[in-house]
Amino acid sequence: MKCKNTVIVRSPKEILMSNGRTRVSGICSENKCDGKLSKIIS
Ligand SMILES: [Zn+2]
């Protein structure tokens, strides 16, 4: 499941993508939601 809210990410993980950009992925910190979040940060 994927979360579409903009929330604080629990246990964020930085992933370097093959195109050289960095993505953070983690789990939504909201109650009753354990959707996955991923965001490109650079
Ligand atoms: Zn969520």
More confident residue, 17 or 4: 17
Question: If you average pLDDT over every residue of the chain, what do you get?
Answer: 90
Q: Residue range 18-28: average pLDDT?
A: 94
6 CA → ligand 1 middle, Å: 8
**For residue 4, what pLDDT is reported?**
81
pLDDT score of 7? 83
**Residue 30 forms part of a structural domain:** yes
Residue 18 CA to ligand 1 center (angstroms) comes to: 27
Domain membership of residue 3 (yes or no) is no
In a domain, 1, yes or no: no
Distance of CA 4 to the CA centre of its chain: 10
In a domain, 13, yes or no: yes
DSSP SS3 for 2:
strand
Integer distance in angstroms from the first to the last C-alpha of the chain? 24
Distance of CA 3 from the midpoint of ligand 1 (Å): 5
Specify the number of domains making up the chain: 1
Confidence of residue 34 (pLDDT cuts 50, 70, 90): confident
The pTM of this model reads 0.65
- Ligand 1: distance of its center to the CA of 17 in Å? 23
SS3 labels along 20-40: CCEEEEEEECCCCCCCEEEEE
Q: Which helix (H) or strand (E) holds 10?
A: strand 9-16
